[in-house]
Amino acid sequence: MSVFTPVSEDQLAAWLKGYSVGAPVALEPIAAGIENTNYFVTTSQGRYVLTLFERLPASEVPFYLELMAHLARHGIPCPAPIAGLDDRYLSQLNGKPAALVTRLEGTSVEHPGLRECAELGGLLARMHLAARTYGGYLENPRGPKWWRRAAADVRPFLGEAALGLLESELACQAQRRFPDLPRAAVHADLFRDNAVFVNGRISGVFDFYFAGVDCYLFDIAVCANDWCLVDPERDCALDEGRTRALLDAYAAVRPLQPAERAAWPVMLRAAALRFWLSRLHDLHLPRPGELVKVHDPEHFRRILELRAAPGARAPWTG
């Protein structure tokens, strides 16, 4: 359960008087989500998601809201923040920073096929092109600097083999940064449960609260490590067909540069390292009051081991 701050119907009705979306019709807590309190809100005008920001620094929230607004006005199907009568996206509700965004239609796909991976690739590229003109700046909060801090935190909890993998990967990544790869504000957390589909077409991407400025290629690698596994339960190798479908659809919109193709295998490892570290951190150093289910870090350890193994092949570079 992840409603940290309850909102009553009366509180919602009073708060919505500061918006142009009509009167509330329904209010329904959303169980998913680990960082914020979320409700589905239906008004006489439409369907929305209300988010109360529980943990994000208040100074960072505008970066995310403005990014979503920027992408939405470029036609990217993502939650569009609704401005209040004071012309601001960010408001206060029950003492928390709060925002209202449009609700997307569609359902997530647990077992994406070639078509869904191609849909994702095309949208990812359109999103990257649209983000080029976004003026906000926030370095990926789960980038290399954070890896080093998180590694220091989790080292005491690791066995010898895991520690060896972590140290060698950090060393490898430290030697292989790519400051010249094209970059902009990217989603950086576009797992299958953060996208929805209608009739086989991708109808939306959401949960931008891990977004930050990083290489486009990092964003693609995060997707590949979740959407393109042979079998997430049993075999974390990349399925070549789906990975190619993702990359080809992407490249049809934004052709990849030779430097990006060369960096792909290392970027897949970087993306695996980032989620291995955050899952280790969530497991061993849960934050006070954390109520959410902790994902097993071993899944990303396996992915990292596979991607880092000598002779590992990554589709498109093999």
The residues binding a copy of itself (CB under 8 A) are 19-22, 44-46, 69, 73-77, 80-87, 100, 122-123, 126-127, 129-130, 132-133, 201
The nearer residue to a copy of itself, 56 or 129, going by C-beta atoms, is 129
Cα 240–chain centre separation: 23
The nearer residue to a copy of itself, 10 or 110, going by C-beta atoms, is 10
269, with CB counted inside 10 A (0-12, 13-18, 19+), is: buried
CB of 285 to a copy of itself, least distance (A): 39
CB of 87 to a copy of itself, least distance (A): 4
The nearer residue to a copy of itself, 100 or 181, going by C-beta atoms, is 100
CB of 243 to a copy of itself, least distance (A): 21
The nearer residue to a copy of itself, 126 or 183, going by C-beta atoms, is 126
CB of 298 to a copy of itself, least distance (A): 38
The nearer residue to a copy of itself, 19 or 146, going by C-beta atoms, is 19
The nearer residue to a copy of itself, 22 or 241, going by C-beta atoms, is 22
The nearer residue to a copy of itself, 74 or 96, going by C-beta atoms, is 74
Pairing of strands 212-215, 183-186: antiparallel
CB of 228 to a copy of itself, least distance (A): 21
CB within 8 Å of 301: residues ≥ 6 apart: 162, 165, 276
CB of 83 to a copy of itself, least distance (A): 5
The nearer residue to a copy of itself, 82 or 273, going by C-beta atoms, is 82
CB of 278 to a copy of itself, least distance (A): 29
CB of 77 to a copy of itself, least distance (A): 7
